[in-house]
Amino acid sequence: MEIDYFLVLDLEATCGPGIYENVEIIQFSVVVLNLKNNLIENKFDSYIKPIIHPKLTRFCYKLTKITQKQVDNSQIFKEVLIKFEKWMIENEFIKKDGTKIKKFHFLTFGPDDFRKFLLTQLKISQIKSIPSYFNYFFDFQKYFKSKNKRKYRIGLSNLLTDYGLDFIGQAHNSLYDCINTARIFQKLSNEIPFKITENDLDSIFNEIEKDVIVISNLPFSLTETELKEEISKFVGVENVLLCQRDGKPTGNGYVHLKNSSDTQKIIKLLNQTRFFGRIIRVEMAKKNSKSKKTKNPKSKKSQNQNQNGSEKKKSKTGIHVSNLSFEMKDEEFKKIFEKFQVKEARIARNKNGKSKGFGFVEFETEEDQKEALKLNGTEFFNRKIGIRISFEESEEENNKTEIVSNQNQNQNQNQNQNQNENQNQIQNQNQNQNENENENENENENEDENEDENSNSKSNSNSTSRFNPKSNSDSNSNSTSRFNPKSNSRFNPKSNSRFNPKSNSRFNPKSNSRFNPKSNSDSNSNPTSRFNPKSNSNSISNSRFNPKLNSNSNSTSRFNPKSNSDSNSNSRFNPKSNSRFNPKSRFNPKSNSNSNSTSRFNPKSNSNSNSTSRFNPKSN
């Protein structure tokens, strides 16, 4: 196809964290390249005011150097497109009906200007028919990729460097991008056997996201540069965007690949793998749903369809207002449209009563609706609101909402009834438990009384016996026993001894000596023997650890459990002695001692002594 002119087109759009799907054009530039003389003859350049994202991000400003003031003082896209068509008519490229006069096509450096930015903006601006002059364009970047047999697309600045050209002006300014693209074409015009192909914009739109992947569960500390470097190790990356919400990272990011054929490759390679210390999820970016739904009848219904699949009707008197301040009240919202006859005005709110950032207004007449639409882009509460025509709700949807509300009320009532029943059950259970506890207490008291009556205690003494449960002591000692469930003693239920179940000695289970377990001493000497297990001495000794000592001496024996001493000794830990720690006195449970000892922990003591026994479980 022979042509005389190239209209080199470049677009800049909103960008930054959280802005990817609904990108809006903020600069529209075209330069005219005459192929006959290879000169740039004319240009068109205009900034555009965005609606959905009226405030430019810091990232967008750093990239394009387009200021907030420049877009605020500009027109919206519809008006700029009309101005561009007038410019084309004045320069005799098209007629008023849109048909071409001169032979021209658009030239772009890459497919994004048409495939993403322009098509998305046409939908946002609710322009139903795509201008016919946009049906042909030549992808200059794709040509260099195929010519040099590159695996990835090359950037504009790198291509200028390859051909010894310097970049003129500001990078990512659409006018300067057009000029620099035209300069490369001027230098290579004689050797470019380019082909102009007709582009079905709807089919292009279906492929709009094939070269974009979404990565989830990224670390919050990760930067876009780090992510791009890591992904570039596997495939070519055009650019990277990390999502943020309220200035904080969300852990999700978009990666625009240079080649769409690498999409499945990188998904298989990285999906569910450990990346920067986290298991990431990689998938293809979701497409915009409009064209997809027209080709797939089984797909989900669009937002403009009712539940039965029929198209929603636009309201003749209602509008949808977006980008409202979350602090705005219903009364303040209604004041925005106070010069009109407002039938109803409400802000959409969640279950907690918090604003969702948008609202609906219903007017009395269609004229008021049309006039209210002119307020689109005006500022209220430091926000520029967006206004569009709302959709009518069908009767079926209204009935469904009523049914749902009734169901919710019934559910709430049932929940309240169940809660009351549960509370009553809990109260009944508590009452039953209290009754059972009282019955158990009464039974325990009766058992204690019966046990006291049936105890085998024969003791007439006022002894203080402890922990001897089975003591059958017949002693007439003045003891007061403790902790004896079947006796009148404390801590000695059946004994008059302390810590010596069968002895009257201390720490000597069978002897009156210290540490001599088998001493049979008959001597009358007063040695202080120690650690002699077989000593037969009858001496009056201070022997220790002699368990079998049969000494009749007045010794202070210890640890002799079987000592049969009849002496008036102060033995310790001798289980069978008549000393301290003899279970029948102290720790001597079987002691038959008749001595006047203070026995403790002797559970079976039969002592008749006047002892103060303790811990004898069987003490009487």
**pLDDT value at residue 407:** 54
Instruction: State the pairing for strand pair 237-245/281-284.
Output: unpaired
Residue 78 has pLDDT above 90, yes or no: yes
Across all residues in the chain, what is the average pLDDT? Answer: 69
Beta strands in 14-91 (DSSP E): 25-34, 39-47
pLDDT tens for residues 390-407?
A: 877 544 444 444 444 455
- Which of the residue ranges 282-291, 292-301, 539-548, 554-563 has the most confident prediction, judged by mean pLDDT? 282-291
Please give the residue that has the higher pLDDT: either 585 or 67: 67
Other CB atoms closer than 10 Å to residue 129's CB: what's the count? 7
Query: Are 496 and 465 contacting, i.e. CB atoms less than 8 angstroms apart?
Result: yes
Higher-confidence position of 372 and 460: 372
pLDDT of residue 436: 64
The confidence band for 271, taking pLDDT boundaries of 50, 70 and 90, is confident
Residue 479 Cα to chain centre, angstroms: 69
- Residue 357 pLDDT more than 80? yes
pLDDT of residue 358 exceeding 80: yes
Q: What pLDDT is stored for residue 620 in this prediction?
A: 35
Q: In the structure encoding, which two tokens stand for residue 432, read together?
A: 């039953």
User: Mind listing the pLDDT tens digit for each residue in 53-69?
Assistant: 899 999 999 999 999 99
Contact 170, 156 (CB under 8 A): no
The pLDDT of residue 79: 95
Q: Which one-letter amino acid corresponds to residue 576? A: K
Distance CA 114, CA 139 (A): 10
pLDDT number for residue 429: 66
Q: Per-residue pLDDT averaged across 284-294, rounded?
A: 51
pLDDT-derived band of residue 266, with 50, 70 and 90 as boundaries? Answer: confident
Q: What is the pLDDT of residue 246?
A: 64
User: Which range is most confident: 82-86, 534-538, 589-593?
Assistant: 82-86
Q: Is the pLDDT of residue 204 over 60?
A: no
> Is a pLDDT exceeding 50 seen at residue 472?
no
Q: What structural domains does the chain harbor?
A: 1-207 (3.30.420.10), 209-290 (3.30.70.330), 314-391 (3.30.70.330), 452-494+609-620 (no CATH), 499-597 (no CATH)
- Integer CA distances (angstroms), 356 to 326, 328, 330, 342, 346, in order: 7, 11, 12, 21, 11
Nearest to 158 by CA among 192, 118, 227, 110: 110
For residues 94 and 7, the answer to whether their CB atoms sit within 8 Å is no
pLDDT greater than 90 at residue 177: yes
At 425-437, the pLDDT tens digits run: 666 666 666 666 6
Q: What is the DSSP string of 245-289?
A: ETTEEEEEEEEEES-GGGHHHHHHHHTTSEETTEE-EEEEPPPPH
Q: 220-256 burial by CB neighbour count: b if 16+ within 10 A, else e?
A: eebeeeebbebbeeebebbebbbbbeeeebebbbbbb
Selected residue with higher pLDDT from 250 and 17: 250
- Closest to 516 measured CA to CA, from 547, 555, 556: 547
- The mean pLDDT of 186-211, rounded to a whole number, is 55
For 435-447, what is each residue's pLDDT tens digit? Answer: 666 666 665 555 5
Distance CA 573, CA 597 (A): 13
- Which residue in 598, 593, 600 sits closest to 611, CA to CA? 598
Q: Which residue has the tokens 């994004």?
A: 112
Mean pLDDT of 251-279: 84
